Amino acid sequence: MELYEQLGTFSAATLHEAMGKSGNLPSAIKPISPSMRVCGPAYTVKTMPRDNLLLHRAYAYAPAGSVLVAYCSGFYEAGYWGDLMSLGAMTKGINGLVIDACVRDADDIEAMGFPVFSRGLCVRGTSNHGDGSLNEPVVIGEVLIRPGDILVGDRDGVVVVPKDRIAETIEKAKAREEREEWVRTQLREGKTSLQIYGWE
């Protein structure tokens, strides 16, 4: 298992806490199916509003195992991604898509099991002019995402782990999980969270 893949064994919330309550993408970005999870290095995409040609290029060019991370210039009212692109990306070995905008064809994407995290669903079509950039840093919400940073997403949302903080984050996440298991033991013994944390 690659070191970054160990991050995928933790929840997004645990990783967020392990990094000092940082790295979280906007809460509106959620999986189109609650059971979807994603983990992998970012291949970043910036598109112009309502244009998705760069997304077609991204899944064609990105290395297998990548997570496509798309910033769509703050324009959400379009379905930038659909079932055919999902099939193409799956065939190329792409691990998933995280997009700061909407997608469509949700039922078909869910049926094929390709992880897609988006702001929602929109039937409105897109153009194919191709303006934008590939594999350059993008900012989504308050988070700078560089190519190769690790994306981890689950039902709660998505967190970005900088590529130079992977080992540190894993260790802190392990320590947090051990602490939480101790708290669970205390709760089962009848103590309240106020008592456990000394907040009385």
Annotated ligand binding at 108? The verdict is no
Annotated ligand binding at 184? The verdict is no
Residues in the chain: 200
Annotated ligand binding at 96? The verdict is no
Annotated ligand binding at 82? The verdict is yes
Instruction: Count Cα atoms within 13 angstroms, Cβ side, for 19.
Output: 23
Annotated ligand binding at 84? The verdict is yes
Biggest CA-to-CA distance, the chain: 62
Q: Is 147 exposed, middle or buried (0-12, 13-18, 19+ CB in 10 A)?
A: middle
Q: Is 37 exposed, middle or buried (0-12, 13-18, 19+ CB in 10 A)?
A: middle
Of 196, 38, 49, the closest CA to residue 129 belongs to 49
Name every residue whose Cβ is closer than 8 Å to that of residue 168 and which is 6 or more positions away in sequence.
Answer: none
Annotated ligand binding at 85? The verdict is yes
Q: Per the annotation, where are the binding residues for Mg(2+)?
A: 105
Q: Per the annotation, where are the binding residues?
A: 82-85, 104-105
Q: Per the annotation, where are the binding residues for substrate?
A: 82-85, 104
